[in-house]
Amino acid sequence: MDRSASASIASFTANPPLYSFPVPSFLAPLKAESFSSLYTTLAILASLLVLEQAVYRYKKRHLPGAAWTIPLIGKFADSMAPSMEAYKRQWDSGALSAVSVFNIFIVMASSNDYARKILNSPSYAEPCLVHSAKQILRPENWVFLTGKNHIEYRRGLNALFTRKALSIYVGIQEAICRKHLTRWLEIQEKNPNSQPIMMTARHLNMETSLGVFCGSHIPEHAANAINDKYWDITQSLELVNFPLALPGTKVYKAIQARKVAMHWLELAAYKSKIAMANGGAPECMLDEWVLSLADPNYKGRKEFSDTEMAMVLFSFLFASQDAMSSGLIYGFQHLADHPEVLAKVREEQDRVRQGNYAKPLNMDMMVQMTYLQAVVKESMRVKPPVLMVPYKATRAFPISDDYTVPANSMVIPSFFNSLHDPEVYPQPEEFLPERWLDPEGSASKNPKNYLVFGSGPHRCIGLEYASMNIALVLATASVMLDWEHDITPQSYLSKIIATVFPKDGCRLTFKPRTLA
Ligand code: HEM
């Protein structure tokens, strides 16, 4: 037998052997010192691995979650391929549960009380978004402000979402929506097969957002260019990404996409300032913003560079493109699957439009569409576009009587269980818009459960605009189109790419609406 193969570590040390295991022959040429340093390295590695487990177990304490974490990577594999089933298992394992990814200790909060507590405790926890978000949005973007600075900055932006401002946007939204729905019909005419609306709905959304934000200060070809690149941003929003934005990586591509968007948004800000200085009437969000800053009664900061304005608009695009597309796509799917609900939407459209489908929509008409509003609310309750928002504990956070989230841990409030609580929403998996029509019903009486747009100081700033836009697209579609759902084995499975989509992209066929 080859002696080196059966040698033991002990034979190279003065101490009595603690372990004895065979050394492979490729190690034979190693000198005693080399073995000693190898032994030391292995011992250090082993200690680190033990330490990793000890720290994980110390932080986790009694919370549900794996007893041991997978060395170094933790649940990285799960975060690469997120699935509703795995998330649901985690949420149902306890109101608070623990998980670790790349040694980032994460506390998941699934109950309504804990989710709201995290969202409403700014002195303990702040949003941290996914790691790539800072590279894409740029670290100086306002969305990363915290505390008083965040409150003040945000106060200035509220002017962009007032009822008066939203009224200006309705006309832009409707014109773009009609143009896209007409194009959907033309595409269908050329190809009678069902098509997934995943990308076409995203395109409609992108052009609407850019139209609302920038009006005629952004040309259509720029909106198309931004739309073409934007998918790179969506794809880069994974929980963990390769840390360096090297060419070829997803984050690198997303940064290139941001540069294209920023170029056009800066130009739009510049043009808006000139148009308003020349006494033009406000026709988009930028114009509203420029005018509000010039108002003598306006108290906040008055000077914003073109780049700063563009970064704010880009943050809106970033926050809305995926979430709104998800909301819209499920809106189409729910209405296709529930013809009785679509029929009621149409009855309401008839009433509000007084039978005149060519009449342009306005804010008063949108307000009268109470059934449609219930449809939109219910659609996003059943299929919340955003399942959870990552926050970070800025210091030790005593979240319950018997558990304190360790400082610097991630703490993730999830919305699904709140939105599917059978006590508040009986038959929680069913799509029942009527539940919102009774002001005394449990859905209306428990607004704290409706976490679709979050809660607290970072609650979605665009929530009314978002709901109105989804309603407006469905209203317009209901009067212009008939559509059918081509149900596949993946229609009711979820694909999670930043937000939630039907796994098959929602395959629909469209026809011009036939009026009875
Ligand atoms: C269906 C569509 C949308 C959904 C489901 C949605 C959902 C959310 C959620 C869950 C948050 C985090 C709230 C929290 O931490 O408590 C959020 C934040 C935010 N949303 Fe939305 N959102 C939508 C559309 C929009 C739109 C259209 C805009 C802008 C035009 C927008 C702008 C923002 C911004 C800027 C934030 C961060 C606010 C802050 O940190 O102060 N969102 N949104």
Q: Give per-residue pLDDT as tens, 46-66.
A: 888 888 888 888 898 999 988
Q: Is 122 in the pocket of ligand 1 (CB under 6 A)?
A: no
Backbone angles phi, psi at 515, to 5 degrees: -90, 135
How do residues 216-238 score in pLDDT, each as one tens digit? 999 999 999 999 999 899 888 77
Predicted pLDDT at 55: 87
- Which residue minimizes the CA distance to atom 17 of ligand 1? 460
| Closest CA relative to residue 109, chosen from 445, 455, 462 | 455
- Which residue minimizes the CA distance to atom 21 of ligand 1? 460
Q: Which residues contact 472 (CB under 8 A, 6 or more apart)?
A: 170, 173, 174, 177, 361, 366
How do residues 192-203 score in pLDDT, each as one tens digit? 999 999 999 999
Predicted pLDDT at 427: 98
Q: Which atom of ligand 1 is nearest to the CA of 154?
A: 41
Predicted pLDDT at 239: 63
Q: Which atom of ligand 1 is nearest to the CA of 467?
A: 1
Q: Report the separation in Å between the CA atom of 72 and the middle of ligand 1, taken as the mean of its atom positions.
A: 33
- Mutation pick for ligand 1 pocket among 119, 129, 460, 496 (CB with most ligand atoms within 8 Å): 460
- Helix (H) / strand (E) containing 484: strand 481-485
CA distances to 223, 320, 353, 433 from 382, rounded to whole Å, are 31, 19, 29, 10
Q: Is 143 in the pocket of ligand 1 (CB under 6 A)?
A: yes
In a domain, 254, yes or no: yes
In a domain, 115, yes or no: no
In a domain, 11, yes or no: no
Q: Report the separation in Å between the CA atom of 173 and the middle of ligand 1, taken as the mean of its atom positions.
A: 19
Total residue length of the chain: 516
Q: Strands 104-109 and 410-413, how do they pair?
A: parallel
Look at residue 75 and tell me whether its pLDDT is greater than 80.
no
How do residues 5-41 score in pLDDT, each as one tens digit? 333 333 333 333 333 344 444 445 556 677 788 888 9
Q: Which residues contact 82 (CB under 8 A, 6 or more apart)?
A: 239, 496
In a domain, 345, yes or no: yes
Tokens of 66: 């794996």
Give the integer Cα–Cα distance in Å for 420 and 112.
10
Classify residue 47 as exposed, middle or buried by CB count within 10 Å of its CB (0-12, 13-18, 19+).
Answer: exposed
User: Chain centroid to CA 178: how far?
Assistant: 27
The domain that contains 472 carries what CATH number?
1.10.630.10
How do residues 456-470 score in pLDDT, each as one tens digit? 999 999 999 999 999
How do residues 121-145 score in pLDDT, each as one tens digit? 999 999 987 777 888 999 899 999 9
Give the integer Cα–Cα distance in Å for 46 and 24.
20
Q: What is the mean pLDDT of residues 466-476?
A: 98
Q: What is the mean pLDDT of residues 254-274?
A: 96
In a domain, 265, yes or no: yes
Give the domain range for residue 168: 131-512
Where residue 516 falls among pLDDT bands split at 50, 70, 90? low
Q: What is the mean pLDDT of residues 433-437?
A: 98
- Give the CA radius of gyration of the chain: 27
- Mutation pick for ligand 1 pocket among 144, 453, 455, 501 (CB with most ligand atoms within 8 Å): 453
Give the integer Cα–Cα distance in Å for 415 and 348.
31
Tokens of 333: 């799917």
Predicted pLDDT at 15: 37
Q: Which atom of ligand 1 is nearest to the CA of 470?
A: 1
Q: Is 462 in the pocket of ligand 1 (CB under 6 A)?
A: yes
Helix 198-214 vs helix 285-294: crossing angle, to nearest 10? 30
In a domain, 255, yes or no: yes
How do residues 438-456 score in pLDDT, each as one tens digit? 999 999 999 999 999 999 9
The mean-pLDDT minimum among 247-251, 377-381, 490-494 falls in 247-251
In a domain, 418, yes or no: yes
CA distances to 389, 408, 458 from 128, rounded to whole Å, are 8, 11, 11
Look at residue 392 and tell me whether its pLDDT is greater than 70.
yes
Classified as helix, coil or strand, 179 is helix
Tokens of 207: 């052009």
Look up tokens 């979240």; give the residue.
Answer: 399
Q: What is the mean pLDDT of residues 67-91?
A: 82
Give the integer Cα–Cα distance in Å for 309 and 331.
31
Please, are residues 385 and 326 in contact by the beta-carbon 8 Å criterion? yes
Please, are residues 94 and 417 in contact by the beta-carbon 8 Å criterion? no
Give the integer Cα–Cα distance in Å for 122 and 104.
21
Look up tokens 């665009």; give the residue.
Answer: 462
Give the integer Cα–Cα distance in Å for 452 and 213.
23
Q: What is the mean pLDDT of residues 57-83?
A: 82
Number of domains making up the chain: 1
Predicted pLDDT at 248: 85
460 annotated as belonging to a binding site for a ligand: yes
In a domain, 119, yes or no: no
Q: Is 268 in the pocket of ligand 1 (CB under 6 A)?
A: no
Q: Report the separation in Å between the CA atom of 47 and the middle of ligand 1, taken as the mean of its atom positions.
A: 44
Q: Which atom of ligand 1 is nearest to the CA of 127?
A: 15
| Closest CA relative to residue 69, chosen from 85, 49, 88, 92 | 49
